[in-house]
Structure 1
Amino acid sequence: MNKIQRNRLVDSGFKYVGIFCTFFGIVMLLIFIGNILADGLSRIDWDFLTNLPSRRAAKAGILTAWTGTAWILGLTAIISIPLGVAAGIYLQEYGKKNRLAYIIELNIANLAGVPSIIYGLLGLEIFVRVLHFGGSLLAGAFTLALLILPIIIVATREALKAVPNSLREASYGMGATKWQTIWDQILPAASGGILTGIILALSRAVGETAPLIVIGALAYVPFVPTTPMDEFTVLPIQIFNWVSRPQADFLVNGAAAIIILLILTFIMNGVAVYLRNKWQKKISW
């Protein structure tokens, strides 16, 4: 067997290994989702969405969990989106391309892969102990904002990079300032990629549990939060609380809550895919 035949054999083998791995992953995912649907679909009703947590599984609901998730998601978006997009614009459009900029860019990319528990410890020290926010919604939102900021910054920079320099040069040639060019030309052209990155970052935040547990989010909250300084729980923590109990009825509740969380995540990811495809169709360069 010569070298060319060996390379073809390796290529063919890698293709079949890839097909097997993909098929295996899809089958496992379908089995997992099928079991969740079989266990929890019958439990989902209006009472389940509007009832407070209870020691009786049949009366327990996720009202405080999904309202806490909504609060956390909204506050995290308010904090992280302006900071992340502004940082991405500065690094790409204004920042000098020197060694310091390279180090900053490298560290931002590395921060996107840091385990979420590290951000929880950072949030515990800064927001809970130093700033005295306690185990509040605001402390949780700031912690998750730190978690997803690198993702938003990287996504913003990549979207801005995709805009051709000819668009900038044409705007400058018409007498526009740098900020006018960015605001009126570059950002509209890159908006699809930026929005996609933001939604995917928020999709990660909505499923995080470890950082919120570290800062003191509660597993049982008997009231709906009404201000950013209230204590809270979220869907992932509620799910963890239910599935850790030995009673079978609470396992059914946990499966139902997982379905709600999956629906929320799939909707957010679907919106991201739609925006990306819509943005790509508008690109004419």
Structure 2
Amino acid sequence: MSVPAKLHEPNLARRHRIGQAFEWLCCGSTWFGIVVLGVLLLSVGWKAVTWPTEKAKPENSPATAEVRQTSAPLSQKFLTSYDSRKPREAGILAALWGSLWLIVLVALFSVPIGVGSAVYLEEYSNEGRLKRLIQVNLSNLAGVPSIVYGILGMTAFVKMFGLFHKEEGKSLVINLLFTTVDVPLPFDRTLISGALTLTLLVLPTVIVASQEALRAVPSSIRTASYALGATQWQTIRHQVVPAALPGIMTGVILALSRAMGEAAPLMLIGALTYVAYTPGEITNISDIFKNPQGLLDAPFDKFTALPLQIYNWINHPRAEYAHLAAAGIVVLLSILLLMNTAAILIRHRFQKQTRW
């Protein structure tokens, strides 16, 4: 004879209370993080649009007139001016173009190598001890502190393991169709050294993200392609990679966002903090067409970047520079937000087109 189930369990009410308490704890933690982040962003935003309060001065003094005529730290002048020893005249143009150059070069280096490595590991290589060793090392390298990559960049790119002596002034002259490019050896503290260092930093992330995207493609797509007579290369090119493209592009953009916010590797390789010029003397898009030689010389120029410029301003003793740093933070966050938004939109658009 079976025993009827109890309609009331003594511990049921207590378990419900514990579950509800846990739910409230999670909700409170979420809102606490949102409020703290919102307060910090509002504080930074307010500093970015106001100058510090100054002591009262005579109404007709030149200093008072200068303060009245000065715009907020975050303005069009701020985006189109170089850094200056006068805080109310300083801008972020050199750092902005330095960061844009870094991102472009890092993308040129990391995307072909990272995606190509992921395709080989997922589509061509056989399962074995070597592949497992590579996978473990990739996972470990993705978590290595950025300062370690800065040390590696200083040794491999800035000094090139001591193979060349800077005092000899050696350079590699590359003859193109209509011009020549002088490549310094070693690369020294130039834009190309920073880009290669950041490439090492984001490459494991790009490879792992691309592998996950390729792994998510159903095997039935590959099987159907082979059944129709396609080769492995044709299957990868026309079926697998297009299907994995949303995940690949999302991983690449997020990796580039991380590279753009890094300061430690660039500080270690000796990127400048006070620069009154842009790489290749290019200050707008039209200069690329007016001065193509500058486009070729830019990777071998000295440079600065947004995180370094912000760090330099924050450490300055004058109060005005803290407001300039806040304006720089707003610019950097805006660019990172645009990049992350682009990653979301690209993923959403391609996912709507993919049917499997």
TM class by shorter chain equals over 0.9
Cα offset, 1:188, TM superposition: 0.8
Which residue, out of 222, 234, 241, partners 1:187? Answer: 241
CA contact (8 A) 1:66 1:234 kept: yes
Q: 1:104-139: per-residue Cα shift (whole Å, max 9, x none)?
A: 112111211111111111111111111621111000
Task: Give 1:28's aligned residue.
Answer: 36
The separation in 2 between residues aligned to 1:6 and 1:129, in whole angstroms, is 66
The separation in 2 between residues aligned to 1:68 and 1:153, in whole angstroms, is 25
Cα offset, 1:279, TM superposition: 2.5
Task: Give 1:278's aligned residue.
Answer: 349
TM-score under structure 1 length normalisation: 0.96
- Percent identical among aligned pairs is 46
Q: Greater shift after overlay, 219-228 or 274-283?
A: 274-283
Cα offset, 1:216, TM superposition: 0.6
Q: Greater shift after overlay, 177-186 or 11-20?
A: 11-20
Give secondary structure in 2 for the equivalent of 1:220: coil
Q: Greater shift after overlay, 143-152 or 97-106?
A: 97-106
Task: Give 2:329's aligned residue.
Answer: 258
In the alignment, does 2:210 pair up with 1:202?
Answer: no
Task: Give 1:51's aligned residue.
Answer: 81
> 5+ residue gaps in structure 2?
1-8, 50-71, 162-185, 281-297
Q: 1:127-180: per-residue Cα shift (whole Å, max 9, x none)?
A: 111162111100000000011001110111111111111110111111111011
Q: 1:212-249: per-residue Cα shift (whole Å, max 9, x none)?
A: 00011011112111121111100110001111112111
Which residue, out of 143, 148, 151, partners 2:205? Answer: 151
Give secondary structure in 1 for the equivalent of 2:313: helix
Give secondary structure in 1 for the equivalent of 2:230: coil
TM-score under structure 2 length normalisation: 0.77
CA contact (8 A) 1:112 1:150 kept: yes
In the alignment, does 2:232 pair up with 1:178?
Answer: yes
Which protein has the bigger helix share? 1
The separation in 2 between residues aligned to 1:2 and 1:265, in whole angstroms, is 53
Task: Give 1:83's aligned residue.
Answer: 113
Q: Once superposed, which parts of structure 1, at least 4 consecutive aligned residues long, lie more than 4 Å away?
A: 1-10
In the alignment, does 2:303 pair up with 1:232?
Answer: yes
Which residue, out of 28, 44, 48, partners 1:40? Answer: 48
Q: 1:9/1:105 Cα in 2 relative to 1: closer, same or farther (>3 Å)? A: farther
The separation in 1 between residues aligned to 2:273 and 2:319, in whole angstroms, is 19
> Which amino acid in 2 is paired with 1:278?
R
CA contact (8 A) 1:73 1:205 kept: yes
Q: 1:3/1:137 Cα in 2 relative to 1: closer, same or farther (>3 Å)? A: farther
Give secondary structure in 2 for the equivalent of 1:31: helix
The separation in 2 between residues aligned to 1:125 and 1:2, in whole angstroms, is 68
CA contact (8 A) 1:47 1:61 kept: yes
In the alignment, does 2:144 pair up with 1:114?
Answer: yes
Larger Rg: 2
The separation in 2 between residues aligned to 1:4 and 1:129, in whole angstroms, is 68
Aligned length: 285
Give secondary structure in 1 for the equivalent of 2:79: helix
